[in-house]
């Protein structure tokens, strides 16, 4: 599906970013692994290479514009092009819609994903909840009755980057297992 294309995936050392990098590689895309965690990025790169796909792992802090510019230069030197970007935790709705409006005349599509409760393999830092508590929440309040997996999000990203989504731009795709329906479920039960 993406043979010959080049994707830059940020936050690719773990969780959704890692699952996205592997999913894109499985579909034939060469993948640039970007993460501040150099060791984790190398591990993801090894998984991608085991699929027979060219990869480049770069320990970059995407909050540093100088590092981002160096990254783009390295990608262009090694691969000569960039076809797809996937940014972890950077899907700000207003930015997505603004960029979509600005870039649509150039044939560039911009969409974002609003994930629900996802087990990224990183635990639950900052939530104050244990994984067991998140699972109980999901069984009670998520229509599909489970915590999502990083691969659930990665497959939606693959779709959004494919020609199947060629007429979509400026969209916020909610991937929450139906958690946003929970208030309806409680009323109906």
Q: How many separate domains does the chain show?
A: 2
pLDDT tens by residue, the chain, 189 residues: 899 999 989 889 999 999 999 999 999 999 999 999 999 999 999 999 999 999 999 998 887 778 888 888 999 999 998 887 866 554 367 768 877 888 899 898 989 898 988 888 766 655 667 788 888 989 999 999 999 999 999 999 999 999 999 999 999 999 999 998 865 555 554
**Residues 96 and 171 grouped into a single domain:** yes
pLDDT at position 61, please? 85
**Residues 85 and 119 grouped into a single domain:** no
Reduced 3-state DSSP string for the chain: CCCCCEEEEECCCCHHHHHHHHHHHHCCCEEEEECCCHHHHHHHHHHHHHCCCCEEEECCCCCCHHHHHHHHHHHHHHHCCCCEEECCCCCCHHHHHHHHHHHHHHCCCCCEEEECCEECCCCCCCCCCCHHHHHHHHHHHCCCCCCEEHHHHHHHHHHHHCHHHCCCCCCEEEECCCHHHHHHHHHHC
Residue range(s) defining the domain that contains residue 178: 91-189
**Residues 85 and 159 grouped into a single domain:** no
**Residues 13 and 82 grouped into a single domain:** yes
What's the CATH code of the domain at 31?
3.40.50.720
Residue 85 is among the residues annotated as catalytic for this protein: yes
pLDDT at position 182, please? 65
Which residue among the candidates 85, 91, 171, 175 is catalytic per the annotation? 85
């Amino acid at each position: 599906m993406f043979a010959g294309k080049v994707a830059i995936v940020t936050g690719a050392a773990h969780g959704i970013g890692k699952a996205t990098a592997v999913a894109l590689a499985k579909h034939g895309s060469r993948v640039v692994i970007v993460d501040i965690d150099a060791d984790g990025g190398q591990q993801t790169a090894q998984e991608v290479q085991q699929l027979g796909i060219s990869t480049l792992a770069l320990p970059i802090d995407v909050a540093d514009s100088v590092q981002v510019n160096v990254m783009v230069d390295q990608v262009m030197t090694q691969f000569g092009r960039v076809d797809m970007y996937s940014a972890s935790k950077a899907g700000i709705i207003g930015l997505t819609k603004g960029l979509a409006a600005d870039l649509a005349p150039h044939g560039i599509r911009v969409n974002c994903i609003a994930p629900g409760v996802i087990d990224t393999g990183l635990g639950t830092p900052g939530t104050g909840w244990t994984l067991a508590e998140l699972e109980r929440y999901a069984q009670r309040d998520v229509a599909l009755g489970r915590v999502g997996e990083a691969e659930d999000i990665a497959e939606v990203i693959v779709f959004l980057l494919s020609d199947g989504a060629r007429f979509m731009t400026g969209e916020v795709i909610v991937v929450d297992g139906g958690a946003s329906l929970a208030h309806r479920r409680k009323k109906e039960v």
